[in-house]
Amino acid sequence: MNGIDTSQGAHVALIGAEFVDFDPVTETITMRFNAPDSFITPRGGVQGGLVAGFLDEAMGWAHVHATKGEEAPLNLEISMTLLSLIPRFYDAIGGKAAQRSRLNVERPEMG
């Protein structure tokens, strides 16, 4: 680890975010999100706008870790297409791109 504080702030606890790992070689972060009951729609998944908040959080943490805490980004735009219902629990993985702005979401096996 690079000495960056991964303790929970109030907003991090609110959205159920948890730091899992950061790979400095690939500049990839893994975070786990456990959405609270208030984020779940009647269909049983996380409300889409709140998923954008999860993505914003993961992208920010990935950038902070990639720059060893020297930079804290501001996302100017988030665009996403949800192809399926996002479950209450999922892992988000922020990967390095040309502008450190790409985020890939991996859905864990449901079992």
Determine the pLDDT at residue 54: 86
Per-residue pLDDT band for 98 (boundaries 50, 70, 90) equals very low
Which whole number is the average pLDDT over 12-27?
86
Encode 70-107: b = buried (16+ Cβ within 10 Å), e = exposed: eeebeeeeeeeeeeeebeeebebbbbbeeebbebebee
Whole-model pTM: value is 0.73
Determine the pLDDT at residue 111: 47
pLDDT 10s digits, 35-82: 899 999 999 889 988 988 888 888 888 888 888 888 877 777 777 888
Residues 6 or more apart whose Cβ sits within 8 Å of residue 72: 60, 63, 64
| Residue 35 near residue 46, CB atoms below 8 Å | yes
- Please count the residues of the chain: 111
